[in-house]
Amino acid sequence: MDVLYFAWVRERIGLPKERVETGAATVSELVEELSAREERYAAAFADISALRVALDQELSDFDAPLAGVREVAFFPPMTGG
Amino acid sequence: MRIAVQEQPFDLGAESDVFAAAATGMGAVVTFTGVVRDVDGGLEAMEIEHYPGMTESAIRKIAEDARDRWSLGDVLVIHRYGRLAPGERIMMVATAAPHRKDAFEAAEFLMDYLKSRAPFWKKEITRAGEGWVAARCEDEDALKRW
């Protein structure tokens, strides 16, 4: 699947988008997998209460299953308007 | 209903005119414009990042929700991204309705939801450095009244 990062999550991890092969069943499992990779991921995902997640461009939550999902995006709370 | 997510500036007067002229039979047209504000006097620019694809669909859904809740003739949302200078217009919302209460309330609803549910992120660039604008609890709380 494609994993996208926005705002300070993108800056902390150091890239906007990457292809991830994963067996993670939920978003939380994917976060654990990414955090275990490198310190920059662990730093970005240190406090998931400060993060939001979208699955296939729809807001979702960290318990949501990943089956069939093609695009996951992580970002801080939105500041539009 | 028109949703535009764009980098270039928009012409507030022209957009308002076209919107109002097309709103035949509507007794009320409300427009709101958001402007880059230099709070502490040191702001050089505001950089707005967004999530192409999701931004348009999220705004469309918010506008459709507004149309379901209020009696509206039409809705317009324009939101910019990229680098903006203080005083530049970030976005505008326009609503047309038979009566003003619907037009005002729907415009406020759109603004509240655009703030916290449309995937935009603002970064302030000041003389002292740069930093992401944090979401405010009040903005999240504002959704509860709807």
Please state the domain extents for chain A.
Answer: 2-75
Report the pLDDT value the prediction gives residue B14, as an integer from 0 to 100.
98
In this complex, the residue of A57, A73, A79 whose CB is nearest that of residue B122 is A79
The count of structural domains within chain B is 1
Contact between chains at B132 and A76 (C-beta distance less than 8 A): yes
Report the pLDDT value the prediction gives residue B94, as an integer from 0 to 100.
98
The nearest alpha carbon in chain A to B119 belongs to A78
Report the pLDDT value the prediction gives residue B40, as an integer from 0 to 100.
80
Share of chain A above pLDDT 90, in %: 99
In this complex, the residue of B79, B117, B121 whose CB is nearest that of residue A6 is B121
Name beta bridge partners: A26: A65
Strand A52-55 vs strand A58-60: parallel, antiparallel, or unpaired? antiparallel
Give me the interface pTM, i.e. the ipTM.
0.95
Domain holding B15, by residue range, is 2-145
Q: In what order do the strands lie in the sheet with A52-55?
A: A17-19, A2-5, A71-75, A52-55, A58-60
Q: Is A77 on the interface with B (CB under 8 A)?
A: yes
When pLDDT is averaged across residues B47-70 and rounded to a whole number, the result is 97
CATH entry 3.40.50.740 includes domain A2-75: no
Q: What's the CATH code of the domain at B126?
A: 3.90.1170.40
Mean pLDDT computed over every residue of chain A: 97
Report the pLDDT value the prediction gives residue B39, as an integer from 0 to 100.
79
Rounded to a whole number of angstroms, the distance from the CA of B53 to the nearest CA of chain A is 7
When pLDDT is averaged across residues B11-37 and rounded to a whole number, the result is 97
